[in-house]
Amino acid sequence: MCCVLMKILFVNEGMAQQQCETFQWNCDDGQCISDSGRCDGVVDCQDGSDETPENCIQVYSTCHAFAFKCAYGACIANGYRCNGRKDCADNSDELVCDESKFDKLQGSCSSDAEFECTRLKECISKANICNGAKDCKDGSDETLELCAGFDCADGAFHCGYGACINRTATCNGVKDCLDGSDEAWELCGFPRPRNKLTPSLSDLRNENKCQLPENGPYLLAHLHPQNQTIRLGRWVENYETIHLECSNGYRIPSHASLNCQNGKWTRGFPSCVQYCDGQSLRGLSTFHVCINNGIAARQCQRLQPKSAVIIRCNVGYEGLSDNAPIMRCNLDGKFTAKRPTCNVECGVQRTSARFRRDLGFVIEQSEAPWQVAIYQKPDNVSYRLICSGSIISPSIIVTAAHCFWDVAVEQTINAEFFQVAAGKYYRDYDMAKDPTAQVADVAEIVISSSFQYNKNAFLEDIAVVKLKTPFIFNENVSAVCFDFGTRASRYVPNNLVGSIVGYGGTGEVLELLPMKSLSYHNCQLKESYANLAGDKFCLQNEGEAIICRGDRGGGYVIQNPVTKRYELLGVISLTPFLNHECAREEVVTATNVKYMSNEVREKLEQFKQEDKALF
C-alpha cells in the first residue's frame, strides 16, 4: 500500500470521535458509511445527511449525461425516473412526472401569466415561481413539488429543490436559494461546518497551526491558492488550505483539500490508493449497481478493490439476463472484464389505449414511444410543428424527405432550423405542457440525390435525421423495429392492419389512427394517384380519423404476428390537403421504407454504428 492511513482518536467537546476509513464518508452525526453510498439516492446515514442538498448539491453538475439528476444533487440511473418508485431520497424522480401541475398554475387568477399561491390564494407573476425567492407569503411558489424538474436556462444554478438562480449568485455569502443550497460548503470550497464534522489531525505543539504528516512518500501537497508545493511534515498557518495528490498512478478517493482551523485539519488525511473509475461503467444501454462489503450503491463514481459490479440493461434495451457475469474491481484499479452492452429493444408498447374518441384512439406516449414531433423555426421567433417521424436508434429518426425541402431553391434546408421532440403528448412546442419530453437539435439530414419534389409522386420521399444528442430511452421514449428486408419482401399487399400516430382533428394530443394497406397497383387505380411513384403504397382510413399536415413523415406501423413487436413499414408521404391544415382523407400514400436508396442506407448504417459506440 502506497500510503499508511493514520488512525488517531481526537477529543471534541469531551467525546471521542472515530475517523472514517478510506472509501468511507462521515455523516453529520459522525457515522461512517461507504463513500460510494453518498448522494446515490438511497439514505445510508441514520441522520439522512448523505442525501441532502448541503452535502450533495455539488454533485448535480457532474452527473453523467445518461443519469437522472435528483433535485438535491444526487445521481441515479435514468431508467429509474418515473417508474412509480421513490429512487431519489426527495422523490424528485417521481415529482417530475406530473404533467398536469403546469396546467394548473393560473388557478383563479385573472391572467394566464399569473400563478395562484396554494394556501393564501395570492396571484403573482409566473416569472417569479421557482426563482429562489419566496414571493408567495405561504412559500408555495418555491416548493419541491412545484419546482422539481423546472427547466433552468443555460448557465443557471439548480437549487436543492429545483429552483433556478443565476450561477454567478452562488458562493457569494448570500443565500439566493430559499434552502441556502447555493452556499453549500463543498460546492463553494468552504470548510465543512464544525458541528457537522469529525475532527482530524492536530498537533498542540504549535497553537493554531497544523502539521502535514511526515510519512506517506506518495502524498504531495500544494498550498492554495499559490499552488506552491510544500514538503511533508511542514507546519501550515491557521486558515490555510492545502490540495493533496498522489504520484506513480495512485489516486485519492475523495476529499483532496484540507483546511487548517485553529490547529486542526478539517478532515483526516486520505490514503493514496488505486481504485476503479465508475465512469467506464456508463453507457446509454446499461446501468450498474456496485456492491462492497454487502452494501449496494447505484451508479457509483469510484470503486475500491474487490468491489463487485452488476450490469443490467436500461429501459428500451435488451440482451443481458439476470445471470450475466458479475464484474469486479481488481487491486490494480482495473475491472476484471469490459462492461457489456445491450441492444436496442425495439417495437415494444408499454400500456394500452385509455379510451376511444370518434376521431381515433387517444393514447399515452408509451403506446407509441418511437413517435417524434419535428419542429421548424423559420422566423427565429417560434417553432411550429411541420412533420412527425420514428425513432430507430437513440439519435436516428426516419421521416419524410419533403419535410426538409426548400422548393424555391430545390435543396435541403439547413439542419440548424429544426428540433426534434420525443415523448411529446401535446402538439404545441411549449415544453411546459410536456415536462418529461426530450428535445434534440438536428446534426445532419440525409436525403437521396434522386428525391423528386412532386405533389403527385414524391419519389424516394424518405429521410434519415441524425440528432446532435441521443434520446435517453424510458417508458415514453424508445425505438420501433426497422428492417430493410429482402427485395422479395418489398411488395406491400392489400389489407395489412396497422396504424399511424398523429394529432388528428383535435390538434392537441396524440391519437392512434387505424389504417389498412392498399397495394401500389390498387392505389394507382385511384384517380388522385395515377402517377404514383414506384416506391409507394397507400393507406386506407379505417374510421373517421382526421389527418393533419404535422402527421406527414410519421410511421405506418404494423405488429409482427410472430414476434408481436411493432415494425416500421412506411413513412407518410402524400396527403392531398389542398389548402386545408387538416382533413379526413380516405386514402393517403406512404413511402415503402424497404425502397430506401443505397446512399441513404449507407449513412443510416454509419449513424447506427456511431450510436452503438455510446451503448
pLDDT at site 2 = 33
State mean pLDDT over 181-192. 87
- Mean pLDDT is lowest, of 14-23, 264-273, 298-307, 439-448, for 14-23
Task: Please indicate, yes or no, if residue 371 is contained in any of the structural domains.
Answer: yes
Of 107, 103, 69, which Cα lies nearest the Cα of 89? 69
Average pLDDT (454-482) is 88
Higher pLDDT, residue 278 or 613: 613
Q: Indicate the average pLDDT of the chain.
A: 81
Residue 576 counted as domain residue:
yes
**Full residue range of the structural domain in which residue 308 is found:** 276-329
- For 470-496, how does the pLDDT look when each residue is reduced to its tens digit (9 = 90+)? 999 988 899 999 988 776 678 888 989
The whole-number pLDDT of residue 29 equals: 81
| Separation between Cα atoms, residue 238 and residue 15, nearest integer Å | 24
pLDDT confidence bin for 556, thresholds 50/70/90: very high
Residues 298 and 393 in one domain: no
Q: Is 572 helix (H, G, I), strand (E, B) or coil?
A: strand
Residues 305 and 377 in one domain: no
Is 504 found in the same domain as 383?
A: yes
With the C-alpha atoms ordered 271, 31, 93, 309, is the resulting torsion angle positive or negative?
positive
Q: Who has greater pLDDT, 6 or 425?
A: 425
Going by C-alpha positions, the residue among 556, 436, 534 that lies closest to residue 490 is: 534
DSSP 186: H
DSSP 3-state of 389: strand
- Give the pLDDT confidence score for residue 365 in this predicted structure: 61
Confirm whether 470 is domain-assigned: yes
Q: What percent of the chain has pLDDT over 70?
A: 84
Instruction: Classify residue 473: in a domain, yes or no.
Output: yes
**pLDDT computed for residue 281 by the predictor:** 86
The reported pLDDT for the residue numbered 400 is: 92
Look at the chain and report how many structural domains it folds into.
3
Better pLDDT: 211 or 417: 417
Contact indicator for 104, 149 with CB cutoff of 8 Å: no
Query: 422 and 551, same structural domain?
Result: yes
Whole-number pLDDT of residue 465: 96
Do 435 and 544 lie in a common domain? yes
pLDDT at residue 455 in the model:
63
- For residues 532 and 560, membership in a common domain is answered with yes
Q: Same domain for 472 and 414?
A: yes
**Mind listing the pLDDT tens digit for each residue in 17-58?**
346 777 788 888 888 888 888 999 989 888 889 999 999 999
**Do both 610 and 522 map to the same domain?**
yes
Report cis status (omega within 30 of 0) of the bond before 225.
yes
pTM higher than the cut 0.85 = no
Is residue 450 domain-shared with residue 428, that is, in the same domain?
Answer: yes
Give the H/E segment covering residue 292. Answer: strand 286-292
Q: How confident is the model at residue 245 (pLDDT cuts 50, 70, 90)?
A: confident
Residue 244 is assigned to a structural domain of this protein: yes
| Average pLDDT rounded to a whole number, residues 145-159 | 87
Within a domain: 146: no
CATH number at residue 216: 2.10.70
Report the pLDDT averaged over residues 520-529.
81
